[in-house]
C-alpha cells in the first residue's frame, strides 16, 4: 500500500468504499505527556468551553483499490491535539465528518461557528469530530453516516435518516486532518432556516449557547468571498467540486 494523501494542502478523493480498522494510540514519552497536559490546561484557561471528550483520530490512510480507501482509526480525547503545540511531538491527524446540504434550487449550505468555539467565526460545512463506538459497536461506513446525521440534527435541526447520506469525497488538509464528506438530499431553504432557528432555540432553552451563529446559502465558489470571517480550508474545494469546477 502507498500513502495517497499529502501532508499539506487540500486534496479531494472520490470514494466508493471505505475500509476501517482500529489501531492503538502511539506511545508518548513522559516529557511529551507532561507538555501535552500543560498545553491543554492553557487552552482550557483561554477557552473554558473546551472539554476533553472522547474522539477518533486518523492513524493512516491507504489506497486499497480503485476508489477504495483503507483508514485506520485511533481512540483519543481532545487533549491529544494539544500535542500540535509541543515542539518535537507528533499529534495524530483529526478525523471528522461533514455534510454537503444542498437546497432544492441548487445552492449549498455553509455555517458559521459561534465565538465561544475552538474556531470562532469560521465558515464551514455542518459536521464535527467522530466519536468512538461504544458497547461493542463497529465503526464502519454506516456508523460514520450516523455520526454525520447526528451532527446535522444537532447543529441544523434536520432529522434526516443516516441511510439518506452518501459518503461523497474524502479530504485531507490542515494538520493532516481527514474529512469524510457526505452528500445529503436537497431541502427547501425554508426548511433549513426553520431547522437552524429551532436547533438554536433548543440549545438556549437548555442553558447552552448554540455552536453555530449564522448560516449562508452559496450558489457558486465565488459567493464564498462574500462571507465575512475565516473559512475552513476544505470549504472552497468542496464547493468547487459540487458545482463542477476543477
pLDDT of 9: 56
Q: pLDDT tens across 37-72, in order?
A: 999 999 999 988 889 999 999 999 988 888 899 999
Confidence grade of residue 11 (pLDDT, cut at 50, 70, 90):
confident
Task: Give the residue-averaged pLDDT of 199-216.
Answer: 93
Q: pLDDT tens across 106-151, in order?
A: 999 999 999 988 889 999 999 999 999 998 899 999 999 999 999 9
Task: Give the residue-averaged pLDDT of 190-194.
Answer: 97
The region, left, alpha or beta by phi > 0 then psi within -120 to 50, assigned to residue 152 is: alpha
Average predicted confidence (pLDDT) for the chain: 91
Which helix (H) or strand (E) covers residue 237, if one does? helix 235-242
The alpha carbon torsion through 72, 77, 78, 81 (nearest 10 deg) reads: -60
Confidence grade of residue 15 (pLDDT, cut at 50, 70, 90):
confident
pLDDT of 245: 64
Under DSSP, the state recorded for 118 is S
Q: Identify the structural domains of the chain with CATH numbers, from first to last.
A: 11-242 (3.90.79.10)
Amino acid at each position: 500500500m502507498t500513502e495517497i494523501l499529502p501532508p499539506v494542502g487540500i486534496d479531494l478523493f472520490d470514494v466508493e468504499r471505505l475500509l476501517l480498522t482500529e489501531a492503538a494510540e502511539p506511545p508518548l514519552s513522559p516529557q511529551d505527556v507532561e507538555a501535552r497536559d500543560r498545553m491543554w490546561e492553557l487552552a482550557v484557561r483561554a477557552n473554558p468551553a473546551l472539554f476533553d471528550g472522547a474522539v477518533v483520530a486518523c492513524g493512516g490512510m491507504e489506497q486499497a483499490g480503485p476508489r477504495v480507501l483503507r483508514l485506520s482509526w485511533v481512540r483519543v480525547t481532545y487533549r491529544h491535539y494539544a500535542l500540535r503545540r509541543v515542539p518535537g511531538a507528533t499529534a495524530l491527524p483529526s478525523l471528522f465528518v461533514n455534510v454537503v446540504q444542498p437546497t432544492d434550487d441548487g445552492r449549498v449550505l455553509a455555517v458559521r461557528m459561534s465565538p465561544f468555539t475552538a474556531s470562532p467565526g469560521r465558515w464551514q460545512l455542518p459536521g464535527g469530530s467522530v466519536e468512538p463506538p461504544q458497547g461493542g459497536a463497529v465503526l464502519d461506513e454506516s456508523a460514520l453516516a450516523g455520526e454525520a446525521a447526528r451532527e446535522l440534527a444537532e447543529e441544523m435541526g434536520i432529522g434526516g435518516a443516516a441511510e439518506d447520506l452518501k459518503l461523497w469525497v474524502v479530504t485531507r488538509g490542515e494538520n493532516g486532518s481527514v474529512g469524510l464528506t457526505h452528500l445529503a438530499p436537497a431541502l427547501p431553504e425554508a426548511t433549513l432556516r426553520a431547522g437552524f432557528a429551532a436547533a438554536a432555540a433548543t440549545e438556549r432553552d437548555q442553558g447552552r449557547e448554540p455552536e453555530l451563529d449564522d448560516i449562508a446559502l452559496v450558489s457558486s465558489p465565488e459567493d464564498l468571498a462574500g462571507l465575512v470571517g475565516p473559512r475552513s480550508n476544505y470549504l472552497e474545494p468542496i464547493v468547487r467540486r459540487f458545482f463542477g469546477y476543477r
